[in-house]
Structure 1
Amino acid sequence: MDVVRRHARELINSRLAPARPAKDGWQTCLQINHGITKGHKLSERERRYVVDITCRWIENEARAGRGPRRDPPLALS
């Protein structure tokens, strides 16, 4: 989980933490679901929180057996 946490931190720092990211859908989601107001640079505390909830979600999905979606192989005719 250390590698996942590191990648989550890198992703959040580069794409979500800036005050005005190119695509702010994630900031909107954070505002609606977690009360983190969009339009400001995320604090270190907010960044840690987002990494924690992201990793918790991944762990819960893995425990429930819901890994990455895999389409069935195509049948060859």
Structure 2
Amino acid sequence: MNDLDRFARSPFRARFHLGPRERDYARAKGRDTIARHAADFIATRLAPAAPKNDGKQTPMRGHPVFVAQHATATCCRGCLEKWHHLPQGRPLTEAEQARIVDLILRWIDRDMR
């Protein structure tokens, strides 16, 4: 089972889908811009060892990346530890950040179909 299928089996994670507003935004901005936004959000909101407002830093809607973060358990350091085995209390590496961004983009691509 791949990682996206694993999240789809979680009743909480499976309930997240892009709404019309997020879909329109993703289409209008294009994948490259959404990828840049995802990389920025991860670098500023998740990558630090102790992110500001951890556990509450990711809105539930309003941007395709935010919805995808909840759907893929990349919304806070607690979820990153539980679902992705990335320990809290240390900064995320560039490779870890890139993996998270890739997962978010794959989820958005799948949900946009």
Which category describes the TM-score, using the shorter chain as reference length? 0.7 to 0.9
Distance in 1 of aligned mates of 2:105 and 2:47: 17
Distance in 1 of aligned mates of 2:110 and 2:97: 20
Aligned-partner residue type, residue 33 of structure 1: W
* Superposed counterparts of 1:5-24, under 5 Å: 5-24=35-54
Distance in 1 of aligned mates of 2:110 and 2:90: 29
For the residue of structure 1 that corresponds to 2:111, the secondary structure is helix
Query: Which deviations, in whole Å up to 9, do the C-alpha atoms of 1:25-65 show, x marking residues without a partner?
Result: 211111111111111100001110110111111111111xx
Superposition RMSD in Å: 0.9
Match in the other structure for 1:57:
107
Match in the other structure for 2:32:
2
Unaligned runs of 5+ in 1: 64-77
Aligned-partner residue type, residue 42 of structure 1: L
Unaligned runs of 5+ in 2: 1-30, 56-75
Larger Rg over CA atoms: 1
TM-score by structure 2 length? Answer: 0.53
**How many pairs does the alignment contain?**
63
Match in the other structure for 1:28:
78
TM-score by structure 1 length? Answer: 0.76
Aligned-partner residue type, residue 46 of structure 1: E
- After TM superposition, give the deviation of residue 24 of structure 1 in Å: 2.2
Aligned-partner residue type, residue 61 of structure 1: D
